[in-house]
Amino acid sequence: MNTRTKSDGLAGLENLSRKYGAVPVTVAFGDGIGPEIMKASLKVLIQAGANIAIEPIDIGESLYLAGNTSGIGPEAWDSLRRTKVFYKAPITTPQGGGYKSLNVTVRKTLGLFANVRPCVAYHPFIATKQPGMDVVIIRENEEDLYAGIEHRQTDQVYQCLKLISRPGCEKIVRYAFEYARARGRRKVTCFTKDNIMKLTDGLFHRIFDEIAADYPEIENEHWIVDIGAAKLADTPLAFDVIVMPNLYGDVLSDVAAQIAGSVGLAPSANIGEQCAMFEAIHGSAPRRAGQDAANPSGLLLAGGMMLAHIGQPEIAKRVHNAWLKVIEDGIHTYDVFKDGISKQKVGTAAFAEAVIERLGQMPETLRAVAYEGASKPFAVPQAKLRTPARKELVGIDVFVHATKPVEELARDMQATADEIFALTMITNRGVKVWPEGLPETFCTDHWRCRYLARPGKQFNKVMIVDLLKKLTYMGVDFIKTEHLYTFDGEAGYSLGQGQ
């Protein structure tokens, strides 16, 4: 399917949207239900008065299947770099290996570091487990395990690298506080697992505490993510804005959207220093494609976030309040339709028409949105580089593929130590197994052998090269190394569990 086919139904709308001063917006009609919900959403936005100039691009399934494993081509990148605003319908990632996630590619390539997901309940008009819920999840969007750096290192063990950077944490945490301040929110909560990942999640938490001090009028708190998630599912009213690293945010924003009512209603904004992308959080629901049945609400509300972003908050407000009125009037698509609550079951196009008919009206029971603060957009935090810390090499972790008993491995590895450095520890999957390991500990074929400089001695990279040479001659199958540094005297590496 090509772009022309997908955007066919837009012929009239494109003309309507080409007014003087129209803001260029790159639009992808997506796959599955994408073209239907995108056309419906654009129709509402434009009827409400959105002044946008639509630049359609083709991405997703058709490109994947034509052999483009990234799902996006050079013309689409040109458009995105030109408009810097992307309104995107969901796309289908074909089954099977080899296809990279287009979402992750776009987010990371355009530096869209903040993923903003409001999760709101529409009680009593849409069934919800949590009436009154109104939580905004701000998920870090570029780092963490989503760096996608994975390796198989031994017969038994695979690895995924979790990368967390100081500029990355500073940007997302400051964004969360700026968002809270601009939108009149009272509290920002941070979720991490820093009781286990003391360096990576520890950095996120530390920076949260540092930055929170710059916003004394906003309450702040930190929860360990597991109990925080349980509390969020059980008592979401305890939270307001929650900021978290990528993986937790990915999982918990879907959970929060579903608890609020339905993932089909939830929009998201992906914000960067220069570009921004707006989309629904759900996928392309291929089984519903072409039936005029899908709910366009998530994408439509994302369109509202886009209008606020490009300086048209009044239009966003018009769309959002008309949408709330439709929800109140019980005009619902099949996914949220409930006998006894809903009044009329409609398809995608009729739902959009119902919103258009109510443009200018306000909800009576649900809280009308004001887009407060959206008209005074806040500065997106820029990455700041600091004076680098004094870095000193103090040792090395050598990872080894071996199936021998740990005592034998320790003897081999100790044979390479000298008067400068010593073998201090061997761990297996992070647990110390030498010296003084327990026979109960299950061991795989993947060992970490830690060498540290002896007191008063200096370690250097030539020693590392010599050490690896010795290991090679001895037939030790080392599979990777990690240098151990101190930064301004503070250890830049974790201890082994049990050490």
Residues that bind ligand NAD (CB under 6 A): 33, 37, 90-93, 103, 264, 279, 282-288, 294-295, 298, 335
- Going from the C-alpha of 182 to that of each of 345, 377, 380, 383, 395, the distances in angstroms are 37, 7, 12, 20, 47
Residue closer to ligand NAD, measured from CB, 288 or 450: 288
Residue closer to ligand NAD, measured from CB, 264 or 304: 264
What sign for the dihedral angle of Cα 93, 94, 96, 102?
A: negative
Q: How far is the CB of 283 from ligand NAD (least distance, A)?
A: 2
Measure the CA–CA gap between 348 and 350, rounded to whole angstroms. 6
284: burial class by Cβ within 10 Å (0-12, 13-18, 19+)?
A: buried
Helical (H) or strand (E) element with 224? strand 219-224
Q: How far is the CB of 249 from ligand NAD (least distance, A)?
A: 14
Q: How far is the CB of 43 from ligand NAD (least distance, A)?
A: 16
Q: How far is the CB of 192 from ligand NAD (least distance, A)?
A: 25
Residue closer to ligand NAD, measured from CB, 103 or 130: 103
Three-state SS for 188? strand
Token digits of residue 97? 């290996």
Closest to 355 measured CA to CA, from 398, 399, 304: 304
User: Strand order of the sheet with strand 431-434?
Assistant: 431-434, 421-428, 446-453, 391-401, 478-487, 490-491
Q: How far is the CB of 188 from ligand NAD (least distance, A)?
A: 26
Ranges of beta strands (E only) in 429-498 are 431-434, 446-453, 478-487, 490-491
Residue closer to ligand NAD, measured from CB, 256 or 409: 256
Q: How far is the CB of 92 from ligand NAD (least distance, A)?
A: 4
Instruction: Please give the backbone phi and psi of residue 385, each rounded to the nearest 5 degrees, phi first.
Output: -100, 135
Q: How far is the CB of 52 from ligand NAD (least distance, A)?
A: 21
Residue closer to ligand NAD, measured from CB, 240 or 279: 279
Residue closer to ligand NAD, measured from CB, 47 or 115: 115
Q: How far is the CB of 40 from ligand NAD (least distance, A)?
A: 10
Q: How far is the CB of 352 from ligand NAD (least distance, A)?
A: 13
Closest to 299 measured CA to CA, from 16, 17, 30, 108: 30
Residue closer to ligand NAD, measured from CB, 236 or 296: 296
Are the beta carbons of 57 and 88 closer than 8 angstroms? no
Token digits of residue 56? 């359609």
Q: How far is the CB of 326 from ligand NAD (least distance, A)?
A: 15
Residue closer to ligand NAD, measured from CB, 200 or 284: 284
Q: Which residue is nearest to ligand NAD (CB)?
A: 283
Helical (H) or strand (E) element with 34? helix 34-47
- Going from the C-alpha of 485 to that of each of 79, 453, 482, 493, the distances in angstroms are 43, 11, 9, 7
Residue closer to ligand NAD, measured from CB, 154 or 284: 284
Binning the chain into helix, strand and coil, the percentages to the nearest 5 are 35, 20, 40
Rounded to an integer, what is the distance from CA 69 to the centroid of its chain? Answer: 21
Residue closer to ligand NAD, measured from CB, 299 or 374: 299
Helices 313-328, 34-47: inter-axial angle, 10-degree rounding: 110
Instruction: Please give the backbone phi and psi of residue 150, each rounded to the nearest 5 degrees, phi first.
Output: -125, 145
